[in-house]
């Protein structure tokens, strides 16, 4: 209000300011009466010449204390013959109570000040109504479109101008929009946030939080409430809050697999906010071929003593597992967690985010390279030294160059003649020492299979009975498959 031209014409001087100037002005009231306090409701900016103020300092202190007691926003005193300066008693009380006190050193028309301030207040209220109507239309549209929780949270964050977090009743992270701020710092500051419950029909499913930020025309709590209402409609439509948990887990796994994070601490914070600990735990990435109920997989993992984050990735189920070192992860437990008669691929142990990423990638690489018979079985990356080496060196250009150099003649042959030499080589490497089994796996007769091997040896200029040569070819083929899978 002090910046309005009507008040600036009075050359205002702040006697008591600081935090007191942040007080919200609800209205303007003009009065010189010493009994004006009984006529006020709070939030008013009092304009006065002080003509009716008492002269006794004790009575002035009581007068100023009554104004503070009813919650006026501040006092603006126009100096003149009656009060050439602000009485010390009034200044003392205002300073003690944190009540804004301003002196006007030039004469102004109070009616002009009142008009200007009331016009500004009404304009702000009109803007707030328009913004609330816009938000109502926005969140209604999101509800009718069946927008997922992460979209609603993102729109709430943009409307409110600060990070917004959705968590379940256990305090676990479901979705968040960070607006470019650090994920770990944002989640660590949740205790400072404004909170609105998300629920309907007597059930509460979670809390919507907004971290400190700028005020909005519609009001921060109003925006949060609109967002919470849209989330509640979505939750009712989905039959409960189970979809929230799946959404949060899928987002973490997608970001982890896609390396969509600048700082490993951000993924760590998101995992911990979902109840998944890395520190002091034994963690693994897991891939189960084929899909089943993700909810059942997660339930079985928890029953076995593991924290779990699980989602579907393509045609497989992928999961992150975390447990205390004493919890066993033998083959029987792995198959029980997988919840079905299917092949399961387990990455090596991990103790941090980057190790967990490597474990999950290694499990996926092993699953991509193993297209043997279906059925309940467990394959561990730790039992496959070449698979583990390829996973470790996955981004090393020298590994890719080795693969291209060794396999180039076979790749050219297959592309030009629609051949199957790479598949035949893969069958040979999958069944070392048993070429009859390799021929069966490649769906070729033994005589045709041996002809293919002779051709491969001639094209490569290599002895396929030499162990070092087979190891080099196996490494090259694994690297090629991994590149094809990631591409």
Asked whether residue 262 carries a pLDDT value surpassing 80, the answer given is: no
For residue 97, give Cα distances in angstroms to 46, 65, 84. 16, 8, 23
Structure tokens at 375: 């059925």
Specify which residues 203 forms β-bridges with.
Answer: 200
**Residue entry with tokens 């087979």:** 470
- DSSP annotation of 382 reads G
pLDDT band at 394 (very low <50, low <70, confident <90, very high): low
Tens digits of residue pLDDT in 335-366: 999 887 888 999 888 888 888 888 888 888 77
pLDDT score, position 484: 60
Asked whether residue 478 carries a pLDDT value surpassing 80, the answer given is: no
**Residue entry with tokens 């447990």:** 323
Asked whether residue 135 carries a pLDDT value surpassing 90, the answer given is: no
pLDDT band at 119 (very low <50, low <70, confident <90, very high): confident
pLDDT score, position 404: 83
Mean pLDDT of the chain: 86
The CATH classification of domain 132-246, taken from the options 2.60.40.420, 1.10.10.10, 3.40.50.300, 3.30.450.40: 3.30.450.40
Asked whether residue 446 carries a pLDDT value surpassing 80, the answer given is: yes
C-alpha to C-alpha distance for 233 and 229, rounded to whole angstroms: 6
Q: Check if the beta carbon of residue 313 is closer than 8 Å to that of residue 257.
A: yes
Tens digits of residue pLDDT in 292-317: 888 888 889 989 999 999 888 888 89
The CATH classification of domain 277-384, taken from the options 3.40.50.1980, 3.30.43.10, 3.30.70.2730, 3.40.50.1820: 3.30.70.2730
Average the pLDDT over 235-253 and give the result. 74
Average the pLDDT over 206-213 and give the result. 91
pLDDT score, position 396: 67
Across 68-72, 204-208, 346-350, 397-401, which has the greatest mean pLDDT? Answer: 68-72
pLDDT band at 188 (very low <50, low <70, confident <90, very high): confident
Higher pLDDT, 50 or 364: 50
Higher pLDDT, 28 or 241: 28
Q: Would 132-246 and 277-384 be classified into the same CATH topology?
A: no
Q: Residue 257 contacts by C-beta under 8 Å, 6 or more apart in sequence?
A: 313, 318, 357, 360, 361, 364
Q: What percent of the chain is modeled with pLDDT above 70?
A: 93
Q: Residue 26 contacts by C-beta under 8 Å, 6 or more apart in sequence?
A: 42, 43, 44, 73, 121
Start-to-end Cα distance in the chain: 60
Q: Kind of pairing, strands 377-380 and 343-346?
A: parallel
Q: Kind of pairing, strands 74-78 and 12-16?
A: unpaired
C-alpha to C-alpha distance for 29 and 40, rounded to whole angstroms: 8
Higher pLDDT, 309 or 248: 309
Q: Check if the beta carbon of residue 29 is closer than 8 Å to that of residue 47.
A: yes
Q: Which CATH class for the 5-108 domain?
A: alpha beta
Cα 292 to the center of its chain, rounded Å: 26
Structure tokens at 251: 């987002």
Positions of E strands within 276-387: 282-289, 307-313, 316-323, 343-346, 377-380
Domain layout of the chain by residue ranges: 5-108, 132-246, 277-384, 397-486
C-alpha to C-alpha distance for 473 and 406, rounded to whole angstroms: 7
pLDDT score, position 399: 76
Average the pLDDT over 423-437 and give the result. 83
pLDDT score, position 385: 62
Average the pLDDT over 16-45 and give the result. 91
**SS3 state at 261:** coil
Positions of E strands within 201-335: 203-210, 282-289, 307-313, 316-323
Q: Order across the sheet with 173-177: list the strands.
A: 173-177, 164-168, 203-210, 194-200
Average the pLDDT over 256-283 and give the result. 84
């Amino acid at each position: 209000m002090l910046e309005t031209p009507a008040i600036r014409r009075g050359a205002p001087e702040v006697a008591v300011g600081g935090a007191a100037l942040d007080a919200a002005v609800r209205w303007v009231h003009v009065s010189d009466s010493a009994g004006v306090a009984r006529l006020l409701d709070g939030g008013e900016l009092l304009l006065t010449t002080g003509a009716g103020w008492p002269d006794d300092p004790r009575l002035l202190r009581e007068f100023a204390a009554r104004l503070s007691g009813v919650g006026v926003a501040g006092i603006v005193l126009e100096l003149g013959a009656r009060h050439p300066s602000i009485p010390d008693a009034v200044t003392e009380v205002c300073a003690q109570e944190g009540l804004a006190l301003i002196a006007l050193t030039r004469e102004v028309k109070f009616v002009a000040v009142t008009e200007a301030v009331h016009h500004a207040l009404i304009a702000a209220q009109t803007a707030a109504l328009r913004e609330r109507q816009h938000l109502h239309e926005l969140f209604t549209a999101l509800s009718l479109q069946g927008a997922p929780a992460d979209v609603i949270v993102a729109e709430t964050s943009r409307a409110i101008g600060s990070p917004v977090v959705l968590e379940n009743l256990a305090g676990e992270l479901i979705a968040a929009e960070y607006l470019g701020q650090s994920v770990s710092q944002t989640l660590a500051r949740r205790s400072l946030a404004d909170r609105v419950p998300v629920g309907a029909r007597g059930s509460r499913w979670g809390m919507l939080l907004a971290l400190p930020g700028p005020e909005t025309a519609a009001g921060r709590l109003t925006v949060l409430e609109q967002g919470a209402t849209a989330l509640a409609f979505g939750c009712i439509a989905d039959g409960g809050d189970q979809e929230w948990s799946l959404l949060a887990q899928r987002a973490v796994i997608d970001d982890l697999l896609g390396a969509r994070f600048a700082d490993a601490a951000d993924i760590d914070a998101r995992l911990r906010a979902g109840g998944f600990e890395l520190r002091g735990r034994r963690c693994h990435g897991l891939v189960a071929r084929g899909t089943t109920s993700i909810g059942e997989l997660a339930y079985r993992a928890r029953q076995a003593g593991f924290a779990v984050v699980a989602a579907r990735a393509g045609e497989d189920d992928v999961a992150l597992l975390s447990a205390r070192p004493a919890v066993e992860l033998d083959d029987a437990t792995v198959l029980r967690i997988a919840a079905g008669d299917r092949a399961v691929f387990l990455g090596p142990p991990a103790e941090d985010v980057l190790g967990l990423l490597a474990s999950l990638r290694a499990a996926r690489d092993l699953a991509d390279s193993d297209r043997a018979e279906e059925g309940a079985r467990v394959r561990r990356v730790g039992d496959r030294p070449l698979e583990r080496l390829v996973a470790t060196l996955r981004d090393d250009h020298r590994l890719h160059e080795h693969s291209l150099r060794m396999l180039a003649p076979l790749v050219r042959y297959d592309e030009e003649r629609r051949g199957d030499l790479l598949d035949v080589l893969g069958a040979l490497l999958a069944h070392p020492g048993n070429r009859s089994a390799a021929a069966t796996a490649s769906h070729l007769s033994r005589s045709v299979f041996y002809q293919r091997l002779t051709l491969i040896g001639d094209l490569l200029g290599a002895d396929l009975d030499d162990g070092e040569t087979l190891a080099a070819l196996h490494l090259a083929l694994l690297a090629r498959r991994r590149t094809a899978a990631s591409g």
